[in-house]
């Protein structure tokens, strides 16, 4: 529990991640190629996006996720072969997509999920011996389900016909992984 002193306190958690973000930005200013600082900054953006989503501040949540995504792309421009960064890209695109669904932006979200799926497939093809890329395919398909369900709920529908198919496909990918 000491590793998570702000567990349950959203405001304290937000302040802690914002402080961490400033430290990681300073580390990147000192060394723009510091992979760990880049990843830690991405995680800080992700966590701040999660916090804003809990607060129902969906525009701010999207801004943090987009910052995370942009940083992931910038890192990949420096090192296209970094499997962890390529894996993180899949997650980042999916997080942005779900934020778009919450805001009712179907086209933008679908484009993110399509890029996430393409990245997951490319990662699987380039590293077939690694288990994580196969799981990424399931993860993305699962996010498609969440995306379709969120859009349907926002439109006042009780379910979406695509979500169950997405989840069945996700399960098959998870089982293959």
In tens, the pLDDT along 52-66 reads 999 999 999 999 999
Distance CA 176, CA 58 (A): 34
What pLDDT does 155 receive?
A: 74
Tokens standing for 123?
Answer: 């990662």
Mind listing the pLDDT tens digit of every residue in the chain (177 residues)? 334 445 567 888 888 888 988 998 999 999 988 888 898 999 999 999 999 999 999 999 999 999 999 999 998 988 888 888 888 999 999 999 999 999 999 899 999 999 999 999 898 888 777 666 667 888 888 888 888 888 888 776 555 565 556 556 555 544 555
Distance CA 142, CA 98 (A): 11
Q: What is the pLDDT of residues 141-172, one digit of tens each?
A: 888 888 888 888 877 655 556 555 655 655 55
Instruction: Read off φ and ψ for residue 130, nearest 5 degrees.
Output: -90, 130
What pLDDT does 127 receive?
A: 75
Q: Residues 154, 104: contact at Cβ < 8 Å? A: yes
34: DSSP letter: -
């Amino acid at each position: 529990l000491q590793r998570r002193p702000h567990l349950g306190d959203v405001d304290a958690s937000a302040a802690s991640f914002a402080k961490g973000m400033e430290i990681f930005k300073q580390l990147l200013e000192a060394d723009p190629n510091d992979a760990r600082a880049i990843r830690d900054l991405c995680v800080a953006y992700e966590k701040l996006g999660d916090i804003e989503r809990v607060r129902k501040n969906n525009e701010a949540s999207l801004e943090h996720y987009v910052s995370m995504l942009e940083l992931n792309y910038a890192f990949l421009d420096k090192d296209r072969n970094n499997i962890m960064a390529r894996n993180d890209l899949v997650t980042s695109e999916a997080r942005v997509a779900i934020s778009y669904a919450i805001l009712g932006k179907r086209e933008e979200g679908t484009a993110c999920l399509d890029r996430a799926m393409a990245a997951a497939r490319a990662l699987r093809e380039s590293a077939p011996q690694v288990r994580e890329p196969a799981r990424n395919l399931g993860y993305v398909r699962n996010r498609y389900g969440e995306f379709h369900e969120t859009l349907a709920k926002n439109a006042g529908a009780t379910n979406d016909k695509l979500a169950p198919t997405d989840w069945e496909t996700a399960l098959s990918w998870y089982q293959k992984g």
